[in-house]
Amino acid sequence: MVVFTGPVGRSGLLPLLEGRFPCGEKPGEKISGLLPEFNRMYWGVLPLKRAVISDIHGNHAAFEAVMADIEEQGCGDIYCLGDLIGYGPDPRECILMAGKCGLNLMGNHEEAVLFGPIGFNPKAKAAIDWTKEQLSLADCPEEENREMWNFIGGLAKQHKEGEILYVHGSPRDPTREYVFKQDIRDRSKMDEIFDSPPDLSWKVCFAGHTHHPGVFAQSVPYLFLDPAQIDNRYEYSTRPERIMVNVGSVGQPRDGDSRASYVIIDDEAIYFRRIEYDLERTLKRFEENPGLPEYLAERLKEGK
């Protein structure tokens, strides 16, 4: 069971969702029966069944498919670990859809849009420049553009609830640090990550960023468990070790499987899910937006 002690930071997007969208979206149609704030306000204590998603990267078709699966699975709420935008052709639609999430965190791509793409490769940087333009379209109302920017600017870098910590990158650097499976051999790096942040204790940390799903377990030596190795299920409630769970990527998987990736957590276990989506629709959106490097579309076909 999880005890909710107060509302989690929903951004200023809700008024936007309830408003009008002259640029074509009809947000009222996109809002499903998921009402986490209502549940929290009226019930206070709920059995935990939460979807954790990350790295949507402007891939609206993948985001829609994952949201449909989350609804089918009966999750109580959805937490998003960042990188809603960057790389993909539909940043505005993805920001709108993120209004369904009870929590949205900042990823390195939101950070890059706000403060500059430091350390980005040329293709990723080109996508950031294109994305910035999309968030300030002259033919969209100024208020709508402002809400898009306010949403991104209002994102938190980490969130802790009970024994669970949520970040985009790692507990040591919540937006930018990559933790790859080969890092389990770097004991000092892993020790520092698992002991961070110094002022917070946690048992489960959810992260994204690498676009590779799996479980890092604090043991001697550290372990990385690929979802396939554990039948897509890790029972954390009966185990003493701290774990860091990479939820994979909704919109740009890089583990050789082109399907969208996300996880569900309940009071006992974490479940890895892979979802087919309309890839052709996303590829067509890339064709319609030649300002994005072609490579970013090509890699979606391979999931790399």
Interface residue list for Fe ion (CB under 5 A)? 55, 83
Number of helices (H), then strands (E), in the chain = 11, 14
**CB nearer Fe ion, residue 55 or residue 77:** 55
Q: How far is the CB of 209 from Fe ion (least distance, A)?
A: 6
Q: How far is the CB of 127 from Fe ion (least distance, A)?
A: 11
Q: How far is the CB of 266 from Fe ion (least distance, A)?
A: 26
Distance CA 204, CA 266 (A): 12
**CB nearer Fe ion, residue 83 or residue 173:** 83
Burial of 7 (0-12, 13-18, 19+ CB in 10 A): exposed
Place of tokens 């980005």: 120
Please give the residue whose beta carbon sits closest to Fe ion in the complex. Answer: 83
Q: How far is the CB of 142 from Fe ion (least distance, A)?
A: 29
**CB nearer Fe ion, residue 55 or residue 173:** 55
**CB nearer Fe ion, residue 63 or residue 236:** 63
**CB nearer Fe ion, residue 4 or residue 59:** 59
Q: How far is the CB of 171 from Fe ion (least distance, A)?
A: 17
Strands (E), 155-250: 158-161, 164-167, 204-207, 214-217, 223-225, 233-235, 243-246
What radius of gyration, in Å, describes the C-alpha atoms of the chain? 18
Q: How far is the CB of 133 from Fe ion (least distance, A)?
A: 20
Q: How far is the CB of 164 from Fe ion (least distance, A)?
A: 21
Take residue 141 and report the two structure tokens written for it.
């109302």
HSE, side-chain direction, 13 A CA sphere, residue 248: 31
Answer whether 59's CB lies under 8 Å from 251's CB. Answer: yes
Place of tokens 């294109």: 130
**CB nearer Fe ion, residue 83 or residue 147:** 83
Question: Angle, to 10 degrees, between the axis of helix 108-115 and the axis of helix 142-153?
Answer: 120
**CB nearer Fe ion, residue 64 or residue 83:** 83
Burial of 149 (0-12, 13-18, 19+ CB in 10 A): middle
